[in-house]
Structure 1
Amino acid sequence: MSFTEVSHEEKTPAGRCLGPDPELHRPCRPHQRCGPRPDHRDHARPPAEPGHGRSSARPGDHGDPVTTGAPLVLLVSSGQQLYREYLLSQLSGAFAVWLITDESVDWQAPYLTGTTRVAALDHEQVLAAARDVQAQRPVAGLLSWDERYIIVTADVADTLGLPGASPAGVRACRDKAASRDILRAAGLPQPHSRYCLTPDEAVTFAGRVGYPVVVKPRGMGASIGVARADSDADLRLRFQEAADSSLQGAAAFQHGALVETFLTGPEISVDGRVVAGQFEALWVARKSVGLPPHFEETGHVVDAADPLLTDPGLQDVLQRAHTAAGFQDGMTHTELKLTPAGPVIVEINGRLGGDLIPHLATLATGLRPGQLAGEVATRRAGEATRTVCQSAAIAFRYPDADLTVDRVTLPELALPEDYAGQCVALAAPGAALGLPPSAFVGRAAYAVVTGPDAQTCRALSETLAQAVTVQARLSAPELAPV
């Protein structure tokens, strides 16, 4: 294995789609349409060699985003380009990044010092890859923002003596059933819940606690497989959906479903960093959900001046929850319901939030979540300095039916003064999009709006998202707008 050190250049490769990083794109002004299009190239993976895989040095002709001598971090999986590239860009601005992945490297290359290709992102192969890199140069930290790999990342960090969430801490986040028990034992308010292996067991439990109930897979994210049930018949149907959805996730969390009482009130998420067990809230996102009885996340808004950031009751709940989970060092994304009795944790995720929420935080506050994640992973966390104070909202365009995309047309932007926006197509021609329960997170496009008022940003982003036109092939051969 070898790699090449190259000097930092303040430029980006010509002709590349860089994703929604505000420092890589000029801000979109009113009456302007912009945004990257999906990469339509075939990303089929060639077979990897067994063992700890093939490694490659980063080519020196892309312009290195880090200075020579920057601390090296290992990143386990980069995630999808349109949802995670901005994080990799931010991380590589302060650290040398070595990617451990089971996929071929394409758009990630300009941000990397090196890569190791493994056949599978399991403990033994990730550990062997990390040790290979350690044999050549010091490794300051190991991290992942991919939900699928946060457990293996924590385990390998622990084995190597690197900072991390702790194996127990990250499992307390990943396993929703165990998380409920841990938080309840710590005296934190929790819904009545039970992990059920059969529909009959679920119906018996619901009969005891009363409807409505929420049914969810034990270990999935992004609200995949989550639905409300109002009767025994509903529950049997939703239980099977959740159990089927669980098969997409880690083997340890497959089969069965978690059934719990329905919590009332608006839903929020809080992204924060944990340093030596101490939690610090960094931003709050207020969530919009739709497509009932499922809970698809249709949008979010981040306000730099959100009063919840300094709410003592919320801070107490978050600190107690992270302490109970045993989470030591890392970034977390905690979802809560603001019930009439106070904030109740829905789940803690042991990584940065998805749905471009950290991107909204950058737009609203100036914080750089990718860099912050690297600082926590290497015990270099300093002051989280906010350089912007505004709001940012995102709204997703879902199809109206299950379909195959022919074309996504983005609207012209016509926004009020002091507001800026961006529309981005997520679905390429030929992509199959579906609605729950046939598919989850089946989005055609999104719209982001920034400006001084949070509710105005939300309303404008929703208007732009709904103005996206999706032409598609339905059951008939003709094209139909939806």
Structure 2
Amino acid sequence: MDQMSTERPRVLLIGSGAQVYREYLLKQTAEHAELWLLEPDPPTWQRPYLVGSSTANTFSPAETVTAVRRLAAEQRIDAVFCYHEGMIVAAAAAAQALGLPGPSVEAVTACRDKARTRELLAGAGVAQPGFALVDDDFDIAQLAQAIPPPWVIKPRSLGASQGVIKVDQPADFAEGLRITRSARQAGMPTDDVVLVEEYVEGGEITVDGYFDGQDFVPLYITRKRLNKAPYFEEMGHTLSGDDEYLTDASLLELMAAAHVALGFRNAISHTEVRITSAGFRLIEVNGRMAGDLVSILVERAMNYNSAWYALELALGRNPGRPAPTGRCCGIRFLRPDEPCVVDSIRFDAERARAAGLADVSFQPMVQPGTELWLPPDNYVARYALLIADGDSAEECNQKLDVASELVELASHPIGQPAAAASAR
């Protein structure tokens, strides 16, 4: 511990993620630790934040453990950290192999397998949607009797709402099942056995925090903005530093019960919860921090670095709980109405200043020439993002609504020449 107090910890980062979404979190992490990156490809944009790197198939727990043991024989490793959904099982196996703090392989695997999550939560009596596993031998009449439609069909082990679809009636179930089974995500397993859940109506929040062995400690909560059904594309979040649910006893009891049932501790989790007329219903628990640039919202609304909390847990320490603030920050993602090829993306900054939106941040997310496909061909077709601060979620959303109208996407249909370009 004395050495740790005089030296920055050497942290093995398993996977870095996509630059547009994860560079900010990587930068935050590097402010508190020396980072050694382990992932399949050599670093490019990540280099400024690293002290070194190695390559290995970090989607494979066995190959990751082999590589990590080799690294540990050559240098000090104080902690293992991972925020990449497809690599969290491998990261847990690596920490376990080195005898370092972290969630167990069994707990992380239970989070990755949504069917296993449901079974464990059901056994513990945690409030959640009704569910069933469906294979080729299912009987639609029996399914409708056990779980009346509408349904949500989802793959067992994919992320980012890939392949998740709402089906309103039995006549549409076969097509929904086909769409779910066709979904693919790099490095993640696919299975013809899918999860069918009761659709629960209500607003959706995400809760990031950790279980300290006795209580669930919430760090931040976002209010999620979803695109229209039948898909569950996430189009934005607002984060309030004093969100009422940060101290909601029934929500915190639900979170604690879920984490006990899954055995998940020693790391930040990212949980999706629906707020229904009958109370909270847990949708899923992810064994890693939030994505979607939520770390920026945390820093701007709550004045702290969420990566520090994650690193403290990875080092076996209890980071405590951040103080509430009266600020809010929101992010909005923009996507086209139809599949297209991007020609240009422009934000009218002059009109934004005239509208009192000089503090709204704008960032393109793709380059000209990018093909943007919509679900079910692609579930993340974002071309730009906007970030706004305010004293409330309402103020942030009002700013983002106005700013969204000031972004112009020039594009042309896929398969047609650029001369067919139009502004959207």
Once residues 368 and 158 of structure 1 are traced to their aligned partners in structure 2, the CA distance between those partners, rounded to angstroms, is 26
- Structure 1 distance, partners of 2:345, 2:178, is 33
Deviation at 1:249, TM superposition (A): 5.3
Letter in 2 for 1:125: E
TM-superposition CA deviations, 1:448-481 (whole Å, max 9, x none): 1011121110222133234321111215431112
Q: 1:82 to 1:279 in 2, by over 3 A?
A: same
Q: Distance in 2 between matches of 1:415 and 1:371?
A: 38
2:333 alignment partner, one of 393, 396, 404: 396
Residues 239 and 256, structure 1, Cα contact 8 Å, conserved in 2: no
Aligned with 2:10 (options 63, 72, 78): 72
Kindly provide the amino acid, as one letter, of the partner of residue 421 in structure 2. L
TM-score, structure 1 normalization? 0.82
Equivalent of residue 126 in structure 1, options 40, 58, 64:
64
SS of residue in 2 equivalent to 1:420: coil
- Which deviates further from its counterpart, 467-476 or 330-339? 467-476
**Paired residue for 2:411?**
472
Q: How many angstroms apart in 2 are the aligned matches of 1:174 and 1:272?
A: 17
Partner of 1:380: 317
Distance 1:202 1:255 in 2: 16
**Alignment partners' CA distance in 2, 1:432 and 1:170:** 34
Shift of 1:208: 3.5
Once residues 304 and 387 of structure 2 are traced to their aligned partners in structure 1, the CA distance between those partners, rounded to angstroms, is 17
Please point out which of 286, 297, 301 is paired with 1:349: 286
Question: Paired residue for 2:55, among 88, 95, 117?
Answer: 117
Are the equivalent residues in 2 in contact too, given 1:123–1:156 (CA < 8 A)? yes
State the distance in 2 between where 1:415 and 1:193 align: 51
Q: Is it true that 1:450 corresponds to 2:389 in the alignment?
A: yes
1:222-272 CA-partner distances (Å, limit 9, x unpaired): 212111111123211111111111565522x42232111110111100011
Task: State, as a whole percentage, how many aligned pairs show the same letter.
Answer: 32
Shift of 1:198: 2.6
Structure 1 residues 128-172: Cα deviation after superposition (integer angstroms, max 9, x where no partner)? 332233223321111110000011111121122111111111111
Matched, 1:219 2:157: yes
Residue pairs, 1:291-310, within 5 angstroms:
291-310=228-247
The number of aligned residues is: 416
Once the two structures are superposed, residues 162-221 of structure 1 have per-residue CA deviations (whole angstroms, 9 ceiling, x without a partner) of: 111111111111111111111111011221111212384456413432111111111112
Judging changes above 3 Å, is the alpha-carbon distance between structure 1 residues 377 and 272 closer, same or farther for their aligned structure 2 residues? same
* Aligned residue in 1 for 2:100: 162
Match of 1:174 in 2: 112
- Output the amino acid matched with 2:66: A
When residues 129 and 451 of structure 1 are mapped into structure 2, their CA distance, relative to the original with a 3 A threshold, is same
Q: Deviations over 1:369-394 (max 9, x none)?
A: 12211111111333344485410011
Query: What's the secondary structure of 2:43's corresponding residue?
Result: coil
In structure 1, distance between residues paired with 2:80 and 2:214: 17
- Which residue pairs with 1:279 in the alignment? 216
- AA of the residue aligned to 1:451: G
Would you say the 8 A contact 2:152–2:167 is kept in 1? yes
Among residues 63, 69, 74, which one is paired with 1:136 in the alignment?
74
Of the candidates 256, 259, 262, which is equivalent to residue 322 of structure 1?
259
Q: 1:445 to 1:223 in 2, by over 3 A?
A: same
Work out whether residues 219 and 246 of structure 1, in 8 Å CA contact, stay in contact via their aligned partners in 2.
no
SS state at 2:268 partner: strand
Match for 2:264: what amino acid? F
Q: TM-score, normalised by structure 2?
A: 0.92
Q: What are the ranges of 5 or more consecutive residues in structure 2 without an aligned counterpart?
A: none
The answer to whether the 8 Å contact 1:415/1:421 transfers is no
Q: CA RMSD in A?
A: 2.2
Contact 2:342 2:370 in 1 (8 A): yes
Distance of 1:288 and 1:426 partners within structure 2: 18
Checking the alignment, whether the CA contact within 8 Å between 2:201 and 2:276 is kept in structure 1 is yes
Using the alignment, how far apart are the partners of 2:388 and 2:220 within structure 1?
Answer: 17
User: Which residue does the alignment assign to 1:91?
Assistant: 29
Indicate which of 368, 379, 400 corresponds to 1:440.
379
| Matching of residue 231 in structure 1 with residue 169 in structure 2 | yes
One-letter amino acid matched to 1:442:
A
1:302 positional shift: 0.3
Cα distance per residue 1:336-365 (max 9 Å; x no partner): 001111111000000001111222111110
Specify which of 7, 20, 26 is matched with residue 82 of structure 1: 20
Is residue 2:367 matched to residue 1:425? no
Retained in 1: the 8 A contact 2:365–2:383? Answer: yes
Specify which structure has the higher proportion of helix.
Answer: 2
Distance in 2, matches of 1:387 and 1:345, equals: 24
| CA distance in 1 between partners of 2:208 and 2:140 (Å) | 32
Judge conservation of contact 1:397–1:465 (CA < 8 Å) in 2. Answer: yes
Contact 1:226 / 1:294 at 8 angstroms: preserved in 2? yes
Paired residue type of 1:454: A
The residue type equivalent to 2:283 in the other structure is V
Change (3 A) 1:68 1:221: same
1:414 to 342, 346, 353: 353
Which structure has more relative contact order (CA 8 Å, sep 6+)? It is: 1
The amino acid of 1:245's aligned partner reads: A
Structure 2 residue aligned with 1:209: 147
CA distance in 1, matches of 2:176, 2:342: 27
Aligned equivalents of 1:255, 1:166: Cα separation in 2: 27
Amino acid at match of 1:80: A
SS in 2 for 1:414: helix
- d(CA) in 2 for partners of 1:373 and 1:420? 29
Find the residue that maps to 2:341 and give its secondary structure: strand
Amino acid at match of 2:348: P
